[in-house]
Amino acid sequence: MPGLASETVGVWADSGSRDESELTAGSTHFLEHMLFKGTRARTAAQIARTFDRIGGDSNAVTAKEFTCYYARCLVADLGSAVDVLWDMVLDPLLDPGEFERERGVILEELAMAADDPQDVLYEAFDELIYPGHPLGRPIGATKGRIRALDHATLLAHYRGAYTADRLVFVAAGGAEHAEVVERVTTAIAQLRPALLAPPGPAEDQTRPRSARSRPAFSAGVRSIRRDTEQQGLLYGVDGVSAVSEDRFAFSVLQSLLGGGMSSRLFQSVREEHGLAYSVHCSSSQHADCGDFALYAGCAPESAQRVLELCDAEFRRLAEEAPDAEEVEEVAAQLAASTVLGLESTATRMNRLASAELYGIALRSPEEIVARVRAVSAQDVRALAEALYAGPKALATVGPRELTLPA
């Protein structure tokens, strides 16, 4: 990205919570915490001071199919950021004492999530639609699982997940490509080569991507009673995967139905009926599956009516093709947001990493815009029809119990 003075860099591990076994559940997120706790060359405090000194934004994220450690810095400080990230990933101490201290921190994090009705709602929805499957488990696991996780299991999980064939380095920003390659090569060369070798069979406690199984979408209702001011609901169906050819039509469908203030859900539920402040579409897309849901938060006494209004808008889109003008307006909005989003180095880094991890073609902004603009009204209706025809699931958190629309 010529002319920029900043760079966003990340080390991505092709391993997420869906790759855990029952034994290792929670260890992917636990490792994310532990990799900031010091290496042979740097203490945890030195890692933190380095990122603070270069004025960078550094953090990590654990998802269901990957883990990412990233930093945003000035191009002039690229070397420091790259050195620290690779040191954290390839040479962590994973000290037993730090492990026990961090266990308490993670238990507090899980307790905080349990107090958030929206977090509870989304986890309940995943557990409902993917029962007994790793995708249905919370990314951070449960408090019981974290209390039971031992240090040896964490070490074995690390050795299986953080190998050369599962690591990807991604960078976007003002630095020259040759400089980035040189910095990465130098950083890796200084670390222990043994860590780049695949683990032996007895050590590997993680599941490779090839061992992932596609879950079947399960219908039903999951109600969690909470004495809250609002009733939260997620009403969903089987969706599309991250690599599906339908993903461009899906983006138009999702935006048209519940993507903004002009969307059908917003106009119906909020503007016309005044029954909710927040109403929109939500989706998760994985390598081999996905889900699509309608979210609303409203007064408990209005929740069933809001659910029926959401269902009616979804059904209407499945039965009647939208006007070509409406689709063109949504496509124009998506095209603009795509181009504007790609001005962010973080967005570019995420896009590069997704293409590499999911094995999909890296399209230019012009190609993406063209694919979105090529979506027709009939494409949207056909996809909506296929999605709406499938089994439906409802998760809700609040004082009331709800039922699926007839």
As a whole number of Å, the CA-based R_g of the chain is: 23
Residue among 7, 20, 32, 123 flagged as catalytic? 32
32 noted as active-site residue: yes
Known catalytic residues are: 32
